[in-house]
Amino acid sequence: MTRLPLFLLIGVGSAALAACSGGVEAPYEEGVCFTVELGDEGEAPAFHKLAEDQPQIEHCAARLEEMRLRFLRQGGSRQEVTGAYQGQYIFIDSEGVSIGKSLTGSRFFLLARTGDGRLAMPGAISRDASGRPVGVAAPVESAPAAPAAGQ
């Protein structure tokens, strides 16, 4: 008789954890980049293979940006794209690229847009006095090597 309440408590607890888990996990296939179609409220997202043999998440983000630009050139109007790569979600919008472990959880900034709309590492972007991005900073050249002693 005391086991029934215990089983009910465990069942309710696991249902509560499932509801708070943040939804569907991104697929983990090594090197495969997916587009994510979110669908209507309450529907599970659909994952479509976009590219294979992608060595890093930045390469997947580049493929997603390429897809977004192609659709815009063909008359589309969707500015935001969601993708997935090796268990992480990728979010592309007007600010740049962010990544996260869930569709609704925290996001971490990965790539920023330059003044001309390209994507670059945030530290590589030069900005004007107002903070607006104006371009990719030139690489810093190393100082010339000092002559060896006795020369």
* Residues of the chain predicted below pLDDT 50: 1, 6-9, 12, 14-21
Report the alpha-carbon distance of residue 76 to residue 43 in Å, rounded.
Answer: 23
User: Does residue 73 belong to any structural domain of this protein?
Assistant: yes
Stated as kind and residue range, the H or E segment containing 6 is helix 3-20
> Domain containing 62: what range?
23-114
User: Does residue 33 belong to any structural domain of this protein?
Assistant: yes
Which residues partner with 97 through β-bridges? Answer: 92, 111
Cβ-contact 111, 92 below 8 angstroms: no
The structure tokens listed for 54 are 């992608």
pLDDT digits (tens, 9 = 90+) for 70-106: 999 999 988 999 999 999 999 999 889 999 999 999 9
Q: What is the DSSP track for 8-68?
A: HHHHHHHHHHHHHS-SPPPP--TT-EEEEE--STTSPPEEEEEES---SHHHHHHHHHHHH
**What is the tally of structural domains in the chain?**
1
The structure tokens listed for 116 are 């001309």
